[in-house]
């Protein structure tokens, strides 16, 4: 039986993760973590599931890790990095689904992977992982005069933009074309912008309502366009992917892995 700890257990993804763990016969919940000052501290996460679990929500990451082999973290960059440090101290594996990291913060994750196994992916969905593989093929096969635009939509509460998934899609396309995304990305347009420059990757962001996550990559040329789209209708798909990643990472030596490694692609 693999025992997991869930960070941010009362958030939208956290609750989905708790429910997914409870529903998995080969997994158990060993710790539930929330930020200091949360009104949920000390409560049993089973309170909102209709059946007590015998666990208490804590802000002490060491306590949450004490009975767990793997931590799953879909919180915020600063919190995730703090939890990551604790995982290194306690030699626990971690699955990171948090987005919005700066380059130096990603470097900290890479450094930590020399000590513990880490799955780090902006999207844990099996479908998105397959879409990334399709994008590699499309970007390689379509001529570079096909303009690339990436559109993403999320719920009103998402705090980073573009989404980590959209950025990863842009990185995949840029890499296949021999570009550095930082040099070719266009994140906003307004006013008199002039004609679209060639060899760029455009991003458009939509925020509103309860959209779980929609992503479309468009390759556009004279007379045609190719669109590759993924739409998530439930956070359960991300939670189930994260559990799959946890099962994988629990068996690994220290290193940095993505969902393609988890799925064996």
Cα angle 246, 252, 255 (rounded to 5 degrees) comes to 100
By the 8 A CB rule, do 6 and 17 touch?
Answer: yes
Cα dihedral across residues 41, 43, 48, 54: positive or negative: positive
By the 8 A CB rule, do 236 and 16 touch?
Answer: yes
By the 8 A CB rule, do 29 and 56 touch?
Answer: no
Cα separation, 109 vs 165, in Å, equals 18
**What residues are paired with 229 via a beta bridge?**
216
Active-site annotation holder among 154, 155, 199, 231: 154
Active-site annotation holder among 83, 90, 115, 158: 158
Does residue 90 have an active-site annotation?
no
- Residue 37: CB atoms within 10 A of its CB come to 7
Q: Which amino acids are annotated catalytic?
A: 154, 158
């Amino acid at each position: 039986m693999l025992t997991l700890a869930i960070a941010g257990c009362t958030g939208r993804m956290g609750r989905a993760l708790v429910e997914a763990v409870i529903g998995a016969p080969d997994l158990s919940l060993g710790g539930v973590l929330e930020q200091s000052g949360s009104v949920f501290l000390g409560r049993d996460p089973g309170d909102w599931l209709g059946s007590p679990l015998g666990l208490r929500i804590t802000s002490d990451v060491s306590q949450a890790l004490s009975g767990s082999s793997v931590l799953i973290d879909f919180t915020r960059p600063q919190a995730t990095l703090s939890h990551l440090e604790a995982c290194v101290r306690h030699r626990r594996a971690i699955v990171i689904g948090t987005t919005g990291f700066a380059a130096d913060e990603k470097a900290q994750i890479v450094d930590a992977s020399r000590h513990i196994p880490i799955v780090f992916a902006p999207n844990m969905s099996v479908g998105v992982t397959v879409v990334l593989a399709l994008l590699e093929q499309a970007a390689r096969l379509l001529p570079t005069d096909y303009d690339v635009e990436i559109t993403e939509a999320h719920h009103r509460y998402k705090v980073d933009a573009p989404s980590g998934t959209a950025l990863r899609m842009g990185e995949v396309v840029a890499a296949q074309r021999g570009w550095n995304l930082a040099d070719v990305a266009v994140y906003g347009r307004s006013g008199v912008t002039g004609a679209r420059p060639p060899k760029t990757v455009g991003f458009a962001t939509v925020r509103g309502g309860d959209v779980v996550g929609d992503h479309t990559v468009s390759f556009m040329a004279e007379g045609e366009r190719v669109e590759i789209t993924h739409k998530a209708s439930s956070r359960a798909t991300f939670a189930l992917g994260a559990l799959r990643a946890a099962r994988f990472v629990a068996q690994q030596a220290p290193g940095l892995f993505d969902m393609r490694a988890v799925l064996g692609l």
